[in-house]
A and B are shown apart, each in its own frame.
Chain A
């Protein structure tokens, strides 16, 4: 590996450590850095509330942001390569919409059918929403995988994915129309996306699932590199295109499904981070881009989470607004600079 690539990876790794610590340190309640360090290593602290804030609120939130950012970025990279479309992202196949549909069914119909609004059930309600999102996302995933076996063209599949997304959104609209106001509000809050929703117990399950899925997705680097050449060349170099496409879509879809289930739909990261990494590392080689997207996605998500609840803000800003507001200019600058260098303007 080139020295500049190694250096870039190290810098990204360091940025994750720094941002993770800042996520634990900064917030509406001021906790001294030394105390945060002590809390992390299980030491005695002068104020036990600080330990609660750091361990039960900020730590799960930071870990969720880290894992979700990594997962969405890796999935986005895979989608962009398999569809050969720079605008492809985790949401294009309708998987996020599937998760939303699952949650909508549970949240919006629970009050009407079960007699008790899910939003009032607290932890049980949250758990039901996560399960519903996973089922919804995986159901759409299964549908997409089935369609992928039937159609040859990537563009056709992409369009079908987008159409499935529209249908899901339309069904959600109908469900909202017939639901109680309280349930609609609960659904809208879920739809805003948040790294703060995952509680202490759930976050370890989330992190563990992703710790298994993310390394598995690295098994596809050679396949993804070959797909860059186009179907004909990839096939000539020994790749079974249909199987490869199925594996990549399944892998990306499952990553998006799990993240969306836990955090709600998070926009922008999956679309932008792969472009950011191509711009920084100036390569299309997935042996570099996969780990780079994982690290950069984690880092950017931590930065966004930090900015969403900077001291001075009451509560937290919607994370989706922050990801786009902060990330879009960064990506635009990187892409413009690269184009300028390429054309020598």
Chain B
């Protein structure tokens, strides 16, 4: 599969602006990510992984620098258009009482549906396809509140797939999961990036697992530095330990 640049980041500074001033979380981030690549963002708690992910998703404006998605500046995307470019899996809790797995995955089709959000036959096919790809087709009629954490995470990944976006961003998709489920989810995401050409970008704490499955790794320090590279290079880099195990 031909790999193309999907994300270009130049001189990016992230953080928060408020009346009291600017709080910079990280700065000077530059990199380019390609389709069919899985990138893991690693860092200790409080390093700013979620802030970076939220900035890349367009939820937070960058303090400085440029983010381009598919060759177009992120800031120039309209909401609905951006919804067809990035699919996200977040840590936030949704109000999912009384909703079946199919209904939830079907919500991923929202950017393509009309005023009432009615799914067409093609939309329903896409939903079914996403359920099968993630391996949760047998759960299709189950109520979401009856699923385990791992199953629920897979449902959210299927929703992002149903959204049919070239980029998928995931915030801590393996948090709160047992070890076998973590391995399963990361391998699933690896498969999706390599077989479907998706650009998968995820934040995680699991250094060991991430280094095994990622094509690229971003390391974030609490001091606001971001180091990017291939897992092989970062493993032999003596600085890696400082980034990941700092107090």
Contact = CB atoms under 8 A, between A and B. Distances in A.
Given A226-B107, A230-B95, A240 B79 contact: yes
Contact of A222 (B93, B108, B115): B115
Given A230-B94, A238-B82, A283-B98, A342 B146 contact: yes
Contacts, number: 80
B75 to A, nearest CB: 15
Given A233-B92, A238-B110, A222 B163 contact: no
Interface in B105-163: 107-108, 110-111, 113, 115-118, 143, 145-146, 163
A237 B116 CA distance: 14
Size category of the B interface is: 20 to 34
A235 B58 CA distance: 9
Contact of A231 (B87, B92, B103, B115): B92
Contacts of B92: 230-233
Interface centre among B86, B107, B111, B115 (most CB of A within 10 A): B107
A236 B90 CA distance: 10
B96 A228 contact: yes
Chain B contact residues, majority secondary structure = loop
Contacts of B97: 278, 284
Contacts of B19: none
A84 B95 contact: yes
Contacts of B98: 278, 282-284
B80 interface: yes
A200 B123 CA distance: 50
Interface in A182-231: 219, 221-222, 225-226, 228-231
Contact of A287 (B83, B95, B117, B163): B117
B57 to A, nearest CB: 7
B99 interface: yes
A178 B81 CA distance: 59
B117 A233 contact: no
Interface of B: 57, 59, 79-80, 82-83, 86-88, 90, 92-99, 103, 107-108, 110-111, 113, 115-118, 143, 145-146, 163
5 contacts: A81-B95, A226-B110, A230-B93, A237-B163, A283-B98
